């Protein structure tokens, strides 16, 4: 039997790990295409015929009839395609809007600040040269965004939307675990106790743990060598 879908990605892509967790919760099989090489596979005519900009992650359904890029859209499609769709994306317009709001927040406020910083400090790619002023700016914005999550959870709430795990939690925690591994160190987390407890709790969900592995939180954030 063909899988529900296939996804093209480089290794250890948190955006794909989120999709894998969502798929598992929904009882769906999403295979990661083996032997993918960034800058090689995604520049072939065959790949570009499906995904014209060559972006990853890139998703196709098992029957090869439907193609998606943009991680947020892929995550939502997989969330809406199984028996737990109502829980993951919401049963009513207000709940769905809140889930979408936090999914956008994960990309536009958390990932937009955490990912470039990690790329400058850890990946050290040519297209992301180290810029101390930029790093400080991004870290300040990340702290501000994490503070927004802290404020939402400080009264003991377990989840961002309603009383159960939703796509909102998966999208947000997917970024926060990355930030916690490299950037949000012990000192920073002192001001974010609810966020720290929340990330630890969500990352213990079986499907999250299977997709991401054990949570790693840094004591001291990575710095330029």
HSE-up of residue 62 (Cα within 13 Å, Cβ side): 11
DSSP 42: G
Taking the whole predicted model, whether its pTM rises above 0.75 is answered as yes
Torsion from C-alpha of 116, 49, 103, 39, nearest 10 degrees: -20
User: Do the strands 58-61 and 67-69 form a parallel or antiparallel pair, or are they unpaired?
Assistant: antiparallel
Summary count for the chain: helices (H), strands (E): 11, 4
Residue whose tokens read 């090489």:
37
Fold of 5-85: Glutaredoxin (3.40.30)
- Cis bond upstream, residue 57 (ω within 30): yes
* Beta carbons of 5 and 33 less than 8 angstroms apart: no
Annotated domain spans of the chain: 5-85, 90-212
* Beta carbons of 154 and 192 less than 8 angstroms apart: no
pLDDT tens, the chain, 225 aa long: 679 999 999 999 999 999 999 999 999 999 999 999 999 999 999 999 999 999 999 999 999 999 999 999 999 999 999 999 999 999 999 999 999 999 999 999 999 999 999 999 988 777 788 889 999 999 999 999 999 999 999 889 999 999 999 999 999 999 999 999 999 999 999 999 999 999 999 999 999 999 999 999 999 999 876
Instruction: Check residue 1 and give its pLDDT.
Output: 65
- Structural tokens at position 18: 């989120």
Which residues, listed in sequence order, are joined to residue 60 by a DSSP beta bridge? 6, 67
Q: Among the CATH numbers 3.40.50.720, 1.20.1050.10, 2.60.40.1890, 1.20.20.10, which is that of 90-212?
A: 1.20.1050.10
- Structural tokens at position 76: 């939502």
- Which residues lie closer than 8 Å to 16 by C-beta, 6 or more apart? 7, 9, 32, 57, 71
Task: Look at residues 67, 30, 71, 73 and name the one whose alpha carbon lies nearest to residue 51.
Answer: 67
Q: What angle do CA 67, 72, 73 make, to 5 degrees?
A: 35
Instruction: Check residue 94 and give its pLDDT.
Output: 98
Q: What is the residue-wise DSSP string for 43-54?
A: GSHHHHHHSTT-
Instruction: Check residue 32 and give its pLDDT.
Output: 96
Same fold, 5-85 and 90-212: no
DSSP 154: T
Report the alpha-carbon distance of residue 63 to residue 110 in Å, rounded: 34
Q: What is the pLDDT of residues 59-73, one digit of tens each?
A: 999 999 999 999 999
Report the alpha-carbon distance of residue 200 to residue 29 in Å, rounded: 26
């Amino acid at each position: 039997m063909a899988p529900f879908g296939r996804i093209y990605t480089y290794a250890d892509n948190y955006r794909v790990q989120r999709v894998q967790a969502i798929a598992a919760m929904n009882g769906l099989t999403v295979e990661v295409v083996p032997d993918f090489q960034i800058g090689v596979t995604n520049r072939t005519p065959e790949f570009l015929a499906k995904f014209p900009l060559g972006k990853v992650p890139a998703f196709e359904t098992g029957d090869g009839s439907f193609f998606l890029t943009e991680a947020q859209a892929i995550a939502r499609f997989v969330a809406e395609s199984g028996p737990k769709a109502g829980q993951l994306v919401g049963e009513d317009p207000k709940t769905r809007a809140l889930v979408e709001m936090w999914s956008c927040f994960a990309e536009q406020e958390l990932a937009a600040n955490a990912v470039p910083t990690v790329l400058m400090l850890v990946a050290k790619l040519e297209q992301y040269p180290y810029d101390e002023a930029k790093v400080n700016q991004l870290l300040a914005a990340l702290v501000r965004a994490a503070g927004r999550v802290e404020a939402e959870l400080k009264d003991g709430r377990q989840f961002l939307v309603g009383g159960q795990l939703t796509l909102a939690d998966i999208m947000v925690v997917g970024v926060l675990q990355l930030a916690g591994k490299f950037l949000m160190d012990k000192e920073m987390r002192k001001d974010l106790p609810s966020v720290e407890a929340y990330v630890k709790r969500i990352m213990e969900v079986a499907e999250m743990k299977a997709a991401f592995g054990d949570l790693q939180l840094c004591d001291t954030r990575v710095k330029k060598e």
